[in-house]
Structure 1
């Protein structure tokens, strides 16, 4: 399949961790017309603003990486924000893309779309087969709606709107907020502070037993572009009817305890690790079945230790920026 590098590609959420990685890799591949907009330039929750943007810019392709995201604490504290903002962003962008004859769109979802007790590793077909994890149900429902929006526009209008479901992501430009971040940036920040303050103990939320899979954002960006560039005939030949989403992950997982021990080594922390079992663990295990993506020809290449070292190096060089999030 010949790739047209002159197509006008809109990356929604280009300042976020995933969006920025997609922009970097599109540039490296030679794409010449990458369109971006900051929140002050374009409020994606405003239907009118999004409609005008698409009418003005004549977009050819869309990577929908914009979303309101956060960890367990943020999801518990701000459920209305998570479901409302994500629903509005998805509905506005996907509908405006259709209205303006954008044939190709990539929607980035989340592994939290799968049931709390889904079969492990989680197949794409596990979607909507059981109850969701309660701590992030509003966010998960919004992401499921995004998948179904893509499927519905494909069914009704013949669009080519694809969805990728990443596992837990980390890397440069992550959110290192002390309360609203995900587990890896939260632990990197906490262990770094412990080293700086010469503490002899770091306390980690939960029992340490849940198992999680982690994928470096550069791998996620590479997978997103790879799936977007797949020939439509190949894509359809490898999908089940009405199944537009593809899992993206590393294919291996580890316990939270093992993650914390690795982060301690990466940051140089020599003290004790303690686990506060009174805090929520979340889903017992979340491992993606990535066989479908591997059959399509893509596999993750960055191992966890190397990825953590890369993320920590970025954090050290951008502490002021990371603290402001």
Structure 2
């Protein structure tokens, strides 16, 4: 099968179209013929040489941890996903490929109203936002601060906070994305020097909770506005979080969590945006796009 992978760590240019054996579904697993795969900062870290302990160290390595497609092979013991079922799901690696094999408890049925490209970039950010906001104990009436609000994760976090009853969601982003933030229900505030003053002007009484998907500056501003540091989480600033005593966000992806987010989408609780869909052979360009920062919505790869 064709895949986008690399045999050495480095910049986007190390990604290339390669041929590798197609994986086979084992007991409890399904194989999915991939239609689209999301591109995330996690994948960029993998390409640069970072890896969680559980990753097989052998190369070449195929990034990609979210996908949509059609079940085309079912392993022993799997029920509920006959061949041909449209699904979306998640993996640790391997989604930048024509086929991916995952445990059957890492997929859910894709509703017809969710387009393939959007479904391919749905799982990672949807679940990340859900995990973070759940850990932050978002409650009706809260004022919630989301940094990096125009990106894939931020888009979900803003709208999920509103769906869970937040009275106000303040989103930080580049000024070019402020109309987009208003459209998804956030009060926009610009990045850069003077961030804390601008946030205080919008929220003079502070915020109840904050999610950082932008960087340390945003996290330092958050601790000035949120009294309870247990209600702050970061997706990108681990060192600053440890320094500030902000709890880490542990693992928690599941089909149940993904299914809940898909249900909210079908209830029209989310407006999602795919800013660019690149063909699989242009995975390097997709990585450059994500690394450029300040983009709105999601970058995906189209596979078949």
Q: Considering fraction of residues, name the structure with more strand.
A: 2
TM-score, normalised to structure 1, is 0.27
Q: Considering fraction of residues, name the structure with more helix.
A: 1
